[in-house]
Structure 1
Amino acid sequence: MAGNKGSKYYDIFLDYRLWLTRRGRGEVLGHDQFMLLQKIDEGETLTYAAESLGMSYRKAWDRIRICEREMGFPLIETTRGGRDGGGTALSEDGKKLLDAYISLRAEMDILIKEKVKKFFHSVNE
């Protein structure tokens, strides 16, 4: 919330997204891909992670593969089905990347909140 009840900015919020880009090629790893990685890290299958984010398994798989190709290393590791069923887990690099993103996002949330408060204070004067 950006203002007191009744102020013109009461229902206005600031939102932001973080993503990784490759020079001259655009987005490599964005919000949706990080959310997929986070769901997988929480122990969800790629199928369930995709469904919980409102995307198809194929779309999720394609997004992960494109990210891996652009990054140059695997983000996830899969095991084939069978008696115990298959599975998906983050690779070591995928886990490091996700952990760094979560840490950066937490720090950015604090900074953004402070700056937004200052911004809306100045426009509400």
Structure 2
Amino acid sequence: MRLNYKLWLEEDERLFGDGPCQILELVDQLGSLRQAAAEINMSYSQAWKLIKKLEKRLGFKLLNKKVGGSSGGGSELTEKGRILTENFSEFRKEAAGCLSGLEKKYFNQEFKDKLK
């Protein structure tokens, strides 16, 4: 038995969570929305629609697109996109640590022994 959970930000409905954060982190690493989408087996068009939907709901751009050419195209996080992604990622790590501590406190061996 182990604790499982999902975290996301919402405003009337789910707004930003693990999936969008992962895509943006991959764009930051790879420099390309197309490569980031491929990395998680998502179509480019699906990823692009997700980013556009998020940008509309958040009220700011997440990505700057670089048009192709001799040096190739790509994407990079905007400053606000980077702040959102980094803060959500750090929050998620800290929350995981806190929840792990609570899991150990409440669902420890003593708890398991009581269920036997």
Aligned equivalent of 2:27, options 40, 51, 67: 40
Aligned equivalent of 1:66, options 53, 78, 81: 53
The match for 1:53 is: 40
State the superposition RMSD in angstroms. 1.3
| 1:25-46 Cα shifts (integer Å, max 9, x gaps) | x111121111001101113411
Aligned equivalent of 2:15, options 24, 28, 42: 28
Distance 2:31 2:2 in 1: 31
Distance 1:61 1:123 in 2: 47
Q: Secondary structure at the match of 1:40?
A: helix
- Which structure shows the higher helix fraction? 2
Deviation at 1:62, TM superposition (A): 0.7
1:117 aligns with 2:107: no
Distance 2:22 2:112 in 1: 35
The match for 2:80 is: 93
| 1:7-55 Cα shifts (integer Å, max 9, x gaps) | xxxxx322222211112xx111121111001101113411111111121
Bigger drift between 29-38 and 66-75 goes to 29-38
Q: Secondary structure at the match of 2:30?
A: coil
Distance 1:45 1:15 in 2: 31
Q: Secondary structure at the match of 1:21?
A: strand
Distance 2:99 2:41 in 1: 28
The match for 2:7 is: 18
Residues 51 and 13 (structure 1 numbering): CA distance in 2 closer, same or farther, change over 3 Å?
farther
Could you tell me which runs of 5 or more consecutive residues in structure 2 were left unpaired when the two chains were aligned.
none
TM-score by length of 2: 0.89
Q: Which runs of 4+ in 1 moved over 6 A?
A: none
| 2:21 and 2:89 in contact (8 A); partners too | no
Give the letter for the 1:18 counterpart.
Answer: L
Distance 1:63 1:98 in 2: 15
Could you tell me which runs of 5 or more consecutive residues in structure 1 were left unpaired when the two chains were aligned.
1-11
